[in-house]
Structure 1
Amino acid sequence: MWKRLDAVLTLKSPLHIGYLPFRGSVISPTRYYVPGRNFWGAITKRATENLHEKSAKEYEEIGKQIKEIFRFSYFYLYDGKTIFIPQYSEEGLRFGDKKQIQFEYRFIGSRVLTAIDSNSGAAKDESLHEIEFIKHKFSDDNGQTRNTKIIGCIWVKDGARLNNYEIQIENNGIFINNFNLIEELTLGGEQGYGFGSVKLEFILNEKIFPIKDIPDKEEINIIAEEDKPILSHLKYNARIPFRGELELLIGRGYFDIEFDIEGDTQKTGGRYKENPGSVLTSPNYHFSPGTFVNLGNDKELLLGWNGVLIRKGCIAIRF
C-alpha cells in the first residue's frame, strides 16, 4: 500500500514551467501548474546530491528507484482558501473561482532575459527572450501582498527504501538518512536566473486536494468523475466524449525514457541515453488538465510516475 501526503509548498522565487524549447527572440510561455514529472526530477536531484557524488549513473539509479516508490499528482496554485484548478466551463476556461484573465492578472508575469557571453560581457546572439512565469508574490482582494503557494499530493510506498536507506514520513517531511527530501526543491526552467525555488510550508493532516485515489499494493488508482475535471494529462482517444482542450505533448528525453509512445526502442531509446536532454520525445495528443471526460464504466485510471493518467491496459506515457 501507499501513504498519501497532501503537501503545500511556498514559492520563494518566480516559477517557469515551460512548454517547448524556444529559439531567438520569442515568448516562452509557462504552464499554470506543476506536472508530476517536475517533482520526480527535483526529488531525484535532491536525493542523489545528498547521498552521492554527482554522476549520471547515480542520478539514473536514484531516479529509477523513485519512479518505483513515489507517485506525484500535478500541483496547483493555492492561496490558503482556493485551489486554482483549471476547468472548461460554458463561459470558457476558469481557474478555481476566477476567469482566466483574472487569474493571469493576479498570478502570471513576464520578463525579458538574455544570456551573457562570459568572454565579452555582451549579450549572446539570439539569446534575448521573454519568459512568462508564475509570480512568487501576489496582491489579494484587499491589496495585501501574499506569498504564492502550490498544493498537491505525494504518495510513498509503505516500507520503501531508497538506496538501502529507510524512508521515514513525518508531519514535516519525507526523510532519508535524517535528510528531508522535500524541505526545499528547485522546479522548472530558468534556474540560472534564480527561478524555481520552493520550500515546504506544511503537510496537511486532512485530505483537501480534490483527487479521489484508491491505492493498491503496487499502483495508485484514480477515479475520473464525470462532473469534475481531470487534474493531469490523459492520452487522447477519439472514442472518449469530452469538453475541454487537447494538447500536443512533447518533452526532453532523459535516461528515464526507454522507448517512445509506440514502444520503438530502436528508434529513440538509445539516443536518450547517449545524449540525455538533447532529444525530444515523440509528440502525442492528450486531454489537458481541466478537461471533462466521459469514460463510461472505465472510470478507474492508473497514476503514472510522472503524474499522467493512464487508462488500464494502455502503454504508459513517457514524456
Structure 2
Amino acid sequence: MNWIGYRVVFRLHSPLHIGWRKVGNVQVTRPYLTGRSFWGALTERLVRDRAATATQMATDSNGYQEVGKQVNEMLAFTYFYPALQSDNDYQVVWTWDDERTFRRRFLSSYQSTALVYPEHSAAEGSLHEIEFLSPHTLDTADPVYLVGYVFAHKDCSLRWRDALTRLQFGGERGYGWGKVELVSLRNADGAFSYTVDCGGHRPVITVPKGERLLAHTQPDQAMIAGEVEPLVGREWHNNSGAGASITHFGVVYAPGGIATNEHCFAVESFGLWQKQS
C-alpha cells in the first residue's frame, strides 16, 4: 500500500471565508474548505515550522514553492465539509441536500465601510460585506466542525500531523478569521463512505452511480450531471508580487455534481479529482 488514509476533524473557532465570487458588494464564501485552501495553510505552517529551527528563512519565497511541491507530491487530501457532532461522532451536513436550510443555519455575513475624516461619513464606494461560515449554527448555537481526509505517502517525511494543530484557513486571517482546533485524527480506509484504493500512484476514490462529486473535477468522458465553473487561483512567484500570478485550471465540475454511472477518480494536486480510464 503506497498511501495511508486519515480522517481529520477540525473544530471551527472563528468565521471562515473561502473566496468564491462577488455579488454586488458581497464577497460570497464557498460553503466548504477547498483543497487549495488546505494546501496553502499547511504549506505556510510547514515552512514557518522549518524556519523556527533556523534551517530556512520564513520570508524566502523559494521555501514556500519547495514545500508546496512536496505537499502535493507526498500528501493527497479531500475537501473539508461542515459537520455537527452526533452520537460521539461527526455528521457532515451537505449544502446540496437543502441549500436554503443550510444557508439559514451555517452562513452569515459581516458588513463594514471606510470613513472619511473630518466629516465622519462613509467613503463613497467603500461599503462591502463578507459572507462566512459561522463557527456555531445560527439557530441552535451548536459548534461547527470541518471533516475531511488526508492520505500520506509511505515515504512522506513532512511533519504534517504536527502542523495540523496550528492551522488557520481562508481570508481575513488578520482579523482572526479561519481559526481551527484539531479534535480528531484517526486512520481511515475510505473517504466520506466512498471506497479508496491506496495502492497506486495517487489515491483513487470510487463514486457509485447516483452519488455526488466531493471536489472540483476535471472534465473527461465521464457522464456527470451538475454545474461547471472556471477554477482560477492566485499565487506568489519569484518574478511577481503577492497574488500577482494567476493560475487557471480550466472549466471543471463543481462539488455536488452527480455521477450518472460508477466512476473512479484520482485525488490529484490541490485535492482536484481526475477521472481514471
TM-based fold match above 0.5: yes
Letter in 2 for 1:104: R
CA distance in 1, matches of 2:184, 2:265: 28
**1:57-97 superposed Cα distances (whole Å, 9 cap, x missing partner):** 111111111111111100000102331234xxxxxx42xxx
Task: Say if 2:5 and 2:187, in contact at 8 Å, map to a contact too.
Answer: no
Instruction: Please say if 1:161 is aligned against 2:157.
Output: yes
CA distance in 2, matches of 1:59, 1:311: 29
SS of the aligned residue for 2:19 comes to coil
SS of the aligned residue for 1:65 comes to helix
How far does residue 116 in structure 1 lie from its aligned partner after superposition? 7.8
Task: Say if 1:6 and 1:209, in contact at 8 Å, map to a contact too.
Answer: no
Structure 1 residues 190, 122: CA separation in 2 closer, same or farther (over 3 Å shift)? farther
CA distance in 1, matches of 2:5, 2:123: 46
Structure 1 residues 206, 293: CA separation in 2 closer, same or farther (over 3 Å shift)? closer
Task: Say if 2:10 and 2:182, in contact at 8 Å, map to a contact too.
Answer: yes
CA RMSD of aligned residues (A): 2.7
The aligned residue for residue 152 of structure 1 is 148
How far does residue 253 in structure 1 lie from its aligned partner after superposition? 3.3
Structure 1 residues 279, 113: CA separation in 2 closer, same or farther (over 3 Å shift)? farther
Instruction: Please say if 1:294 is aligned against 2:260.
Output: yes
**Paired residues for 1:202-221 under 5 Å:** 202-204=184-186, 209-221=192-204
* Percent pairwise identity: 28
The aligned residue for residue 269 of structure 1 is none
Structure 1 residues 211, 113: CA separation in 2 closer, same or farther (over 3 Å shift)? farther
**1:116-174 superposed Cα distances (whole Å, 9 cap, x missing partner):** 89xxx99776443100100011256xx4x221101010111113223xxxx4xxxxxx4
Instruction: Please say if 1:274 is aligned against 2:273.
Output: no
Structure 1 residues 159, 111: CA separation in 2 closer, same or farther (over 3 Å shift)? same
Task: Say if 1:73 and 1:153, in contact at 8 Å, map to a contact too.
Answer: yes
Structure 1 residues 214, 252: CA separation in 2 closer, same or farther (over 3 Å shift)? same
**1:209-247 superposed Cα distances (whole Å, 9 cap, x missing partner):** 33321112431112122121011011234x543332222
Within the candidate set 155, 175, 198, 2:180 is matched to: 198
Task: Say if 1:11 and 1:147, in contact at 8 Å, map to a contact too.
Answer: yes
The aligned residue for residue 73 of structure 1 is 78
The aligned residue for residue 305 of structure 1 is 269
How far does residue 311 in structure 1 lie from its aligned partner after superposition? 2.4
Instruction: Please say if 1:19 is aligned against 2:20.
Output: yes
Task: Say if 2:210 and 2:261, in contact at 8 Å, map to a contact too.
Answer: no
The aligned residue for residue 233 of structure 1 is 216
Structure 1 residues 281, 127: CA separation in 2 closer, same or farther (over 3 Å shift)? farther
Structure 1 residues 216, 273: CA separation in 2 closer, same or farther (over 3 Å shift)? farther
Where structure 2 has 5 or more consecutive residues not aligned to the other structure, the ranges are 52-56
Letter in 1 for 2:105: R
The aligned residue for residue 242 of structure 1 is 224
Task: Say if 1:29 and 1:132, in contact at 8 Å, map to a contact too.
Answer: yes
**1:272-304 superposed Cα distances (whole Å, 9 cap, x missing partner):** 8533512333362211111102356xx222111
Count of aligned pairs between the two proteins? 263
The aligned residue for residue 268 of structure 1 is none
The aligned residue for residue 89 of structure 1 is none
Where structure 1 has 5 or more consecutive residues not aligned to the other structure, the ranges are 87-92, 168-173, 256-271, 314-319
CA distance in 2, matches of 1:240, 1:210: 21
Structure 1 residues 283, 206: CA separation in 2 closer, same or farther (over 3 Å shift)? closer
Task: Say if 2:104 and 2:138, in contact at 8 Å, map to a contact too.
Answer: no
Task: Say if 2:225 and 2:260, in contact at 8 Å, map to a contact too.
Answer: no
SS of the aligned residue for 2:15 comes to coil
The aligned residue for residue 250 of structure 2 is 284
How far does residue 184 in structure 1 lie from its aligned partner after superposition? 2.3
Query: Normalized against structure 2, the TM-score is what?
Result: 0.84
**Paired residues for 1:91-106 under 5 Å:** 93-94=96-97, 99-106=98-105
CA distance in 1, matches of 2:273, 2:209: 15
Structure 1 residues 214, 240: CA separation in 2 closer, same or farther (over 3 Å shift)? closer
